[in-house]
Chains A and B, each alone.
Chain A
């Protein structure tokens, strides 16, 4: 089952604009990660945010985590054509020996040149 649900399912914006994607989940987590996937290939890790953190930055990426609302957002600033991809949130939960990383259904982002 998919714990994370990304919103929106698809997003199209003009190059240079900011893109915001949201992720909601249902149960408590150890951490939340965002990944990018180009055209059905392997996933690329973007950011990991732990459950005791509220915000992290990496270059043009900004991730927030609100554990009280069980939600996270990924902001990509000054978008580029190369940012066109599917973006997935993944929640890490469980104890050692029974840990799971659960991915959402993804947001398909299209940057229009």
Chain B
């Protein structure tokens, strides 16, 4: 059974640029969620995807967008990067839609915006 993987591991971008983060869900999981974790804080829910559709969104502006592909992998896109976007971005997959199931997290992508 393959766990959740994320790429890249680390990324440095400049304010105003755009970034794409990638996630491969655990085998057999059809739901992917993305979280942002600032240093010293708990993860904050960005959005969840199920069957290639967004299914729930947290308090993040539209410049945070996502995609889910037929193989259930996912991308997180952030446009017009701001310094406050510097954080650990976590992807989590679960075996079914909704948040009533345990989330299986990947190792995260550390994004630094300068």
Contact = CB atoms under 8 A, between A and B. Distances in A.
Interface of A: 1-2, 4, 30-31, 33, 35, 40-45, 48, 50, 88, 90, 92-94, 96-106
Interface residues of B, number: 29
B41 A97 contact: no
Contact of A105 (B41, B48, B56, B106): B41
Interface of B: 4, 33, 35, 41-45, 48, 55-56, 58-59, 88, 90, 92, 97-108, 110
Chain B interface, DSSP helix/strand/loop, else mixed: loop
A48 B95 CA distance: 14
A44 B110 CA distance: 18
Given A41-B108, A92-B100, A100 B56 contact: yes
A47 to B, nearest CB: 9
A101 B99 contact: yes
Contact of B99 (A30, A45, A105, A106): A30
B90 A96 contact: no
8 contacts: A40-B108, A42-B90, A45-B103, A96-B55, A96-B97, A99-B99, A100-B99, A102-B45
A100 B45 CA distance: 7
Contacts of A92: 99-100
